[in-house]
Amino acid sequence: MCKRLYFCIQIKKMKRITINDIANNLGITASTVSRALAGNTRVSIKTRGLVLAKAKEMGYQQNVLASSLRKGTSGTIGMIVPRINRHFFSNVISGVEEILNPTGYTLLIAQSGESFTKEQKAVDMLLANHVGGIIISLSVQTQSYEHIQRAIDRGIPLVQFDRINPDIDSAKVINDNFTGAYLATKHLIKSGYKEIGHFTGTLSLNAYAERYRGYAKAMSESGLKINERFVYADAITREAGYNAIVNVLKEDNKPDAIFCAGDYAALGVLDGLKEMAIKIPDEFGVVGFANEPFSELIHPTLTTVEQNAFEMGMRVAKAMIKNLEGKPGREQETISTRLIVRDSSWRGDSVK
Amino acid sequence: MCKRLYFCIQIKKMKRITINDIANNLGITASTVSRALAGNTRVSIKTRGLVLAKAKEMGYQQNVLASSLRKGTSGTIGMIVPRINRHFFSNVISGVEEILNPTGYTLLIAQSGESFTKEQKAVDMLLANHVGGIIISLSVQTQSYEHIQRAIDRGIPLVQFDRINPDIDSAKVINDNFTGAYLATKHLIKSGYKEIGHFTGTLSLNAYAERYRGYAKAMSESGLKINERFVYADAITREAGYNAIVNVLKEDNKPDAIFCAGDYAALGVLDGLKEMAIKIPDEFGVVGFANEPFSELIHPTLTTVEQNAFEMGMRVAKAMIKNLEGKPGREQETISTRLIVRDSSWRGDSVK
DNA sequence: GTATTTTGTGCAAACGTTTGTATTTTTGTA
DNA sequence: TACAAAAATACAAACGTTTGCACAAAATAC
């Protein structure tokens, strides 16, 4: 590798300080140093102080790899999200780090890109890296769950969040999608809209199923009938939202409001309505879901449901830590959502 | 730990398959298995096939920890960004993963949150985790660089991107901030604005310094003088942009356009202008930087400079791999930027 | 046919910890 | 002072790889 010594000398990596170095320096043995650093009471308080001081002096840094190898468990938590550049997910990540970092755990993040194969690979990658636990939000494609089971079989803790599979035995943290959707729909009703449609994502994902459930509940509770022709279950992108609204307004029987299960779809709906010169909110109401940053910046500002992503992240991390500490903790937690009323839906009390 | 055996049985982790298991099973030795799995030609093609088949059959997964420990270098790359939930950074991350993942490297992401202390801690965390390399974009606070030097001294490859320190000896990938800013300012001039101000971030960061340089070049080239009272070097947030524009328009001598070094500041400027009922772009021109997703959604749509974040990420990853493979590679690469003209600045050829 | 090279494996040490057990030192008690 | 108990430390094995070196068997050369 290194043909000539004098080349190596300058390139050579600075040798890391190990516990053996400290031990030799202090004239004690490595095991004592190890225990001292761990704060084990079996080593005298005097030696502990000595070791700590010397470690600092020599610039010792634990070799996490060696430690994990010996202990059989690493302080790394793996996290799989569909996309890191989604406002919601990046904020969940921040929330997780908020709790995890101070405890010394480190987070290994992987993206599934909404692809099942990539999700599988991500799980295997995390397992190969001996993560101590896995946090996951399923991709839209995911329909089979052996990869998840593989992780569980390994005995490593699993926490699902947002896009979960209820049948998998693990801790779960979800948004209160039901209530959010319920309130959003109720709000549209209160605002005087009668023919309310719903654009959402695949109902095989619990998040979307719950939003549909909330929508349906609000409708039936107010004696309104759902027109299934106003319901699209594959409309979560801007483009899909646009296509759906254009499509649905072609019919004789038209809706006068749409509750979208995502802000991007709502954005597409607004695009379509503007194109058709339909007045918002006078003639048509729109509500989104997620409170994406753009939702308060567009015109009209978009009524939407806020999910507390950061809070969710913190709860996820806490659930993970609980599991890592050996406490069972297979509970399902729910993070509350909040309706934010803006211009795209509120016609004032007048209509009420 | 486990007081009662029959409790352990069900909780017990499934034992991992090691190369020793494969070796025993095949009646050969672990070193041969190791070599076979690595595709070493010193083991016969026959044995290699046997080992590979058996490994697959037994569901072998390499213990990355042990491997890294022995090899003294891990296949993990650490990446430190100011904030993960910024459109630009999350896209750079995606770009890095695009290149890194297929090669088997894994990415450990840490956030500095624009805090110097957190950045230092992040570096130490990555070093403790024996990352094979570090990719970093400096926080705005960072003024001292011992932590970076610490990493370099360890001999691990470093790649800086976007917010770099030119004095640190490492590979660097930056945006063509100069040209972007130059074109943006030129465009404003072409659009007929004469008194063009500049709202930017701390000029100690090269990215902002370069944008200033581009702005200055365009101005002087067109024979326009920079009024330093129209230049704010601490205005990168929406709020700061708002305050700055309100402030600057109080004076007798007013600008008629602002080139902002960030879209958020530009957003604040638009807020202020709208509040003061100043017509955009007729009376006042605004250009941002970054092409944040919201910039094409707001009213008026914002002229801005696009940075190719994903491309940048891929280049960063390639530079890292080059370094990991032992090739020196301390070059500085520049990713081109592109002006996107929208409604906030273009008064048409009429004015020209 | 022997000598030499090539090819394929095995052996054992090493990476830096952790941890059960053994050993030494200290302390307390009779 | 002797002797047990307690406290502090040392010893050594283990975690799962990788890799230099040794060795045997096969292939080639003379």
SS3 of B207, please?
Answer: helix
Protein CA B30 to sugar C1' C21 (Å):
29
Tokens 């994902």 locate to A205
> Residue A340: is its pLDDT beyond 70?
yes
- Is residue A136 within 8 A of residue A162, CB to CB? The reply is no
A293 neighbourhood in chain B, CB within 8 Å: 293-294
pLDDT at residue A130, as a whole number:
87
B293 neighbourhood in chain A, CB within 8 Å: 293-294
pLDDT at residue A2, as a whole number:
34
> Residue A6: is its pLDDT beyond 80?
no
Q: For A244-265, what is each residue's pLDDT tens digit? A: 999 999 988 999 999 999 999 9
Whether chain B has a CB inside 8 Å of the CB on A11: the answer is: yes
Q: For B171-206, what is each residue's pLDDT tens digit? A: 999 999 999 999 999 999 999 999 999 999 999 889
Helices (H), A196-308: 206-221, 238-248, 263-275
pLDDT at residue B230, as a whole number:
96
Measured distance CA(B159)–CA(B143) in Å, rounded? 18
Chain-chain contact of A130 with B65 (C-beta, under 8 angstroms): yes
**Nearest C-alpha in B relative to A82:** B94
Domain segments of chain A: what residues?
14-62, 73-175+309-335, 177-307
Q: What is the secondary structure of B7-54 as a DSSP string?
A: HHHHHPPPPPP-HHHHHHHHTS-HHHHHHHHTT-TTS-HHHHHHHHHH
pLDDT, average across residues A180-201: 96
Burial of B184 (0-12, 13-18, 19+ CB in 10 A): buried
pLDDT at residue A285, as a whole number:
96
**Nearest C-alpha in B relative to A108:** B108
Q: What is the secondary structure of A79-115 as a DSSP string?
A: EEES-TTSHHHHHHHHHHHHHHGGGT-EEEEEE-TT-
Measured distance CA(B66)–CA(B90) in Å, rounded? 31
- Is residue A200 within 8 A of residue A236, CB to CB? The reply is yes
Protein CA A28 to sugar C1' C29 (Å):
31
Q: For B90-108, what is each residue's pLDDT tens digit? A: 999 999 999 998 888 899 9
Measured distance CA(B77)–CA(B75) in Å, rounded? 7
> Residue B4: is its pLDDT beyond 60?
no
In this structure, what token pair is assigned to residue B30? 């672990």
Protein CA A32 to sugar C1' D6 (Å):
18
> Residue A318: is its pLDDT beyond 90?
yes
Which of A100, A127, A297 should be substituted to probe chain B, the one whose Cβ sees the most B Cβ atoms within 10 Å?
Answer: A297
pLDDT at residue B349, as a whole number:
55
Of the listed ranges A170-184, A269-283, B160-174, B319-333, the one predicted with least confidence? B319-333
pLDDT, average across residues A308-337: 91
Would A14-62 and A177-307 be classified into the same CATH topology?
Answer: no
Chain-chain contact of B128 with A61 (C-beta, under 8 angstroms): yes
- CATH (one of 3.60.20.10, 3.40.50.2300, 3.40.50.10860, 2.40.30.10) for B74-175+309-335: 3.40.50.2300
Q: Which distant-in-sequence residues (6+ apart) come within 8 Å of B80 by Cβ? A: B109, B110, B111, B112, B119, B122, B123, B126, B134, B135, B136, B137
Q: For A116-152, what is each residue's pLDDT tens digit? A: 999 999 998 898 888 999 999 999 888 899 999 888 8
Q: For A69-124, what is each residue's pLDDT tens digit? A: 999 888 899 999 999 988 899 999 999 999 998 888 999 999 999 899 999 999 98
- Strand D footprint at Cβ < 7 Å? A 27-32, 35, 41-47, 66, 69-70, 72; B 16, 18-20, 30-31, 34-35, 37-38, 60, 62-63, 66-67, 69-71
Measured distance CA(B140)–CA(B262) in Å, rounded? 14
Whether chain B has a CB inside 8 Å of the CB on A124: the answer is: yes
- CATH (one of 1.10.260.40, 3.30.70.20, 3.40.640.10, 2.40.420.20) for B13-62: 1.10.260.40
Strand pairing category for A158-161 and A171-175: parallel
Measured distance CA(A242)–CA(A199) in Å, rounded? 10
Question: Among residues of chain A, what percentage have pLDDT more than 70?
Answer: 95
pLDDT at residue A330, as a whole number:
85
> Residue B146: is its pLDDT beyond 60?
yes
- Is residue A136 within 8 A of residue A79, CB to CB? The reply is yes
A68 neighbourhood in chain B, CB within 8 Å: 65
Q: Does domain B177-308 have CATH number 3.40.50.1980?
A: no
Of the listed ranges A165-179, A306-320, B6-20, B285-299, the one predicted with least confidence? B6-20
Q: Which distant-in-sequence residues (6+ apart) come within 8 Å of B238 by Cβ? A: B264, B265, B267, B268, B271
> Residue A306: is its pLDDT beyond 60?
yes
Q: For A200-238, what is each residue's pLDDT tens digit? A: 999 988 999 999 999 999 999 999 999 999 999 999 999
Chain-chain contact of A154 with B13 (C-beta, under 8 angstroms): yes
> Residue B154: is its pLDDT beyond 90?
no
Of the listed ranges A8-12, A192-196, B67-71, B328-332, the one predicted with least confidence? A8-12
Measured distance CA(B70)–CA(B73) in Å, rounded? 8
Q: For B262-312, what is each residue's pLDDT tens digit? A: 999 999 999 999 999 999 999 999 999 999 999 999 999 999 999 999 999
CATH superfamily of A73-175+309-335: Response regulator (3.40.50.2300)
Which pLDDT band, with edges at 50, 70 and 90, does A325 fall under? Answer: confident
Measured distance CA(B240)–CA(B76) in Å, rounded? 39
Alpha-carbon torsion (A76, B120, B116, B148), positive or negative? negative
Residues 71-110 of B with CB under 8 A from A: 74, 76, 84-85, 87, 90-91, 93-94, 97, 106-110
Protein CA A18 to sugar C1' D19 (Å):
22
pLDDT, average across residues A1-14: 36
Element (H, E) at B340: strand B337-340
The CATH fold assigned to A177-307 is Rossmann fold (3.40.50)
CB count within 10 Å of CB B256 equals 16
In this structure, what token pair is assigned to residue B131? 């990352």
Q: Which distant-in-sequence residues (6+ apart) come within 8 Å of B47 by Cβ? A: B28, B32, B36
**Architecture of the domain spanning A14-62:** Orthogonal Bundle (1.10)
pLDDT at residue A235, as a whole number:
94
- Chain C bases closer than 7 A to any CB of the protein: 7-20
pLDDT higher at A55 or B330: A55
> Residue A11: is its pLDDT beyond 70?
no
SS3 of A308, please?
Answer: coil
Q: Which distant-in-sequence residues (6+ apart) come within 8 Å of A81 by Cβ? A: A89, A92, A93, A109, A110, A111, A112, A136, A137
